[in-house]
């Protein structure tokens, strides 16, 4: 997951995972902004950036969940549940 420590939606995703958040590869893009921008733009440029519903998007931002080779921009807890099959 790519997120920003000051983003309210990102905080909601992190709290959704509770204690299990430590099991997720999470990058705080507030601390690693250059790395995150390059990575997220590469998903967009390769047309692998999608909305939670699966539509290709030109947007990049947080929270973004990288699942397989696709980046889901603006991910929500309910979309994560649906995409991963995890409760």
What is the total count of domains within the chain? Answer: 1
pTM (predicted TM-score) = 0.88
pLDDT above 80: residue 86: no
Asked if the structure places residue 85 within a domain, the reply is no
- At 18, which CATH number? 3.40.30
87: in domain:
no
Q: How many angstroms separate the Cα of 81 from the Cα of each of 8, 17, 40, 43, 70?
A: 19, 11, 22, 22, 16
What are the pLDDT digits (tens) for 40-61?
Answer: 999 999 999 999 999 999 999 9
Confidence band of 20 (pLDDT split at 50, 70, 90): confident
Token pair belonging to 49? 């950036």
């Amino acid at each position: 997951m790519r997120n920003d420590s000051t983003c309210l939606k990102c905080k909601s995703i992190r709290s959704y995972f509770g204690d299990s958040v430590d099991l997720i590869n999470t990058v705080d893009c507030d601390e690693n902004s250059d790395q995150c921008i390059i990575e997220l733009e590469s998903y967009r440029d390769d047309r692998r950036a999608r909305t939670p519903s699966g539509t290709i998007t030109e947007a990049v931002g947080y929270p973004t969940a990288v699942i397989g080779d696709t980046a889901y921009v603006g991910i929500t807890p309910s979309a994560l549940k649906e995409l991963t099959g995890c409760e």
